[in-house]
Each structure stands twice: as structure tokens, then as C-alpha cells.
Amino acid sequence: MWPINWGFDAMTFSIVAHCPRTGMLGVAVATAVPAVGATCPYVLSQRGAASTQSWVNPHLAIDVLSRLASAAAPDALQATMALDAGRALRQIGVVDAQGRSAAWSGSDCTPWFGHFIEPHFAVQGNMLADEGVLLAMAAAFRDSAELDLDERLLRALEAGDAAGGDRRGKQSAALKLHHRQPFALLDLRVDEHPEPVTELRRVHGIARAETLPFVQQMPTDVHGAGQVAPEVLRLLALSPAQRAAERTHPPLRQDPAP
């Protein structure tokens, strides 16, 4: 059985999601404690995404993602939670690479707490203003199906924030996005900020323009040389201020098929 973890109380709202168009997986999360991006969101490319919260036990996310190799998200989560002696204090959402979603909200989570699951995503939260936080997140994600997954995740997080979010206040937010490679396409974190979700939106705009063009041309395996386009090399040679002056927002490029 997993030991009860009393170390990090993440009263949090989050979304875990799968894009049926691209196969991308991601998590967006915000809370009123520092460094939520370091403890709550976990993604395993082509396997699944999870957010572990309330009295956080990272082993839960790691274990459930491992189980997704041979089980659907609902079965994997049930098997993982059966091992946790502190399950009444936990909250976790998970989605697998086929878009099957599941969530757990222990009976001793801090009110308001709960979760909603639909195909391709789950939203969950505790110590929230009310259930409207999660309803707003689900609606924002559902209503933006034509957009890239990172944008949909951000819109869901922004909707939850606008609906009241964590009733204690605001402190940190994070966005993590994976595709076919074992490393992240985006791994963005905002800590110790009065408006972390708003700041995450700003940072996302910069990363989308300046980081993604480089990450999307990284080698696809240990033997690959990668193909960094001349315009990307030129962009990276500029100072941050110079890059800001000519910033654009390119679309996500799908990784080459393995």
C-alpha cells in the first residue's frame, strides 16, 4: 500500500486531456500554493496524462500511467487507488491515449471538491469556490474542439480561474503538453505570481513563438541529427527583445511518424 503523504496539500483545479485529432496529451493546473507544476501534472507520451492533487502522492500518477500500458484509464485508476492507504484524501484525474478518462475524489478532500469526466478529458478540483469552476472548465474545453490542445487546455484553465478557482486565492499554474516524443513539447510553469493563469497565458505566447519551433525540430531518436531550419537558428541568435519585436504564433507541427 502507498504510504499516506502528508507533505504537500494542493487544493487545486486541473484538466487532463487527449486530442483525438493529433494524439497529443496534456495537463493544465492551477492552485494557491507554490510550484504546482513540479508536483501535480504528469504526462507519458502516447500513454496518458494525469494530475495528482489534494494531499498529493506523486506515486499515484506514476503508477497509473505505468498501468495504462495494458489497461484503460478507468481500470488503471481503480487498481492504483486500491493500493493507497490515504485514498480518502486524494484527488486524481487521468486520460489515456485512446481518450478514455477517469477521476477519483476522496471523501475527505476539502470542499468544494469533485470531478467531471467526458471522452478525451477530465476536470477535477478541491477547495474550489463551487462546482461552477469545473463546469466552466469543461464547457471551455468542449467548445474549442477545433483548436490545438495547448490552447484548449489554457482556455479551460482560464475559465476555471474566472469562475472562482481555488477559494484561497492564486499562486501558481502550469501547462504540460506531449506528443510522440518522450520529452515535452511544452512544459510551462508560473510560480509565486498574483495572477498565475494570466501570466501563464503570456508565457505560453512567447514559448509558442520562440521555443516550439526549436523543440519541434529536435532529433526524434538518439541517433538523429535533427533538422534546425535556418529561420529557427536566426531567431535563436536574436536577443529576447529582438525576438519579441517580430514574434509570431506558428501552428503546432506534428512530429514525423516513428
* Secondary structure of 27-64 as H, E, C letters: EEEEECCCCHHHHCEEEECCCEEEEEEEECCHHHHHHH
- Residue 255 has what pLDDT? 47
Name which residue leads in pLDDT, 146 or 226: 146
For 114-132, write each residue's pLDDT tens digit.
Answer: 999 999 999 999 999 899 9
pTM of the model: 0.87
Given a cut of 80, whether residue 4 has pLDDT beyond it is no
pLDDT at 155 over 60: yes
Q: What is the pLDDT of residue 6?
A: 42
Of 30, 27, 53, nearest to 40 by C-alpha is 53
| Cα torsion angle, 59, 49, 45, 119, sign | positive
pLDDT tens across 240-256, in order?
Answer: 777 676 666 555 554 44
Mean pLDDT, the chain, integer: 88
Rounded distance between C-alpha atoms, residue 13 and residue 23, angstroms: 23
Domains along the chain with CATH numbers: 9-213 (3.60.20.10), 217-245 (no CATH)
